[in-house]
Amino acid sequence: MSPRKVRLVADVVKGKTASEALAILSLLPKTATLPLLKLLRSAMANAKQNGGVAHPEVLRVSGLSVDGGATLKRSMPRARGTAYQILKRTSKIVLTLTDSVK
């Protein structure tokens, strides 16, 4: 998915708590919410399993950056034996969770 489309959703979630981010992502009508939702659930499970966080409710999305990944190059056949180039863009998403204990 194009980084431009994913950034629209990522900007909404950035800075929220993990439970708020899950609620927001489950209600947004964008296609980019599915990979971000899967990533957030995985990060919460990793924090619980490996990070020693007992309650995932104390986690906060402190950083969420979306950069361009590898671009797949395809071609579309056109008239008179020519071909147009199609660029299938991918995204590289980095999610950072921190404890929001106050």
4-49: pLDDT as tens digits: 999 999 999 999 999 999 999 999 999 999 999 999 999 999 988 8
Prediction pTM value: 0.85
Max Cα-Cα span within the chain: 67
Question: By C-alpha distance, which of 19, 101, 30 is closest to 10?
Answer: 30
What's the pLDDT at 54?
A: 72
- Cβ 39 vs Cβ 91: under 8 Å: no
pLDDT greater than 90 at residue 52: no
Helix H or strand E encompassing 26: helix 18-27
Q: What are the residues facing 92 on neighbouring strands? A: 67
Task: Determine which of 20-24, 92-96, 97-101 has the lowest per-residue pLDDT on average.
Answer: 97-101
∠ Cα 31 19 25 (to 5°):
10
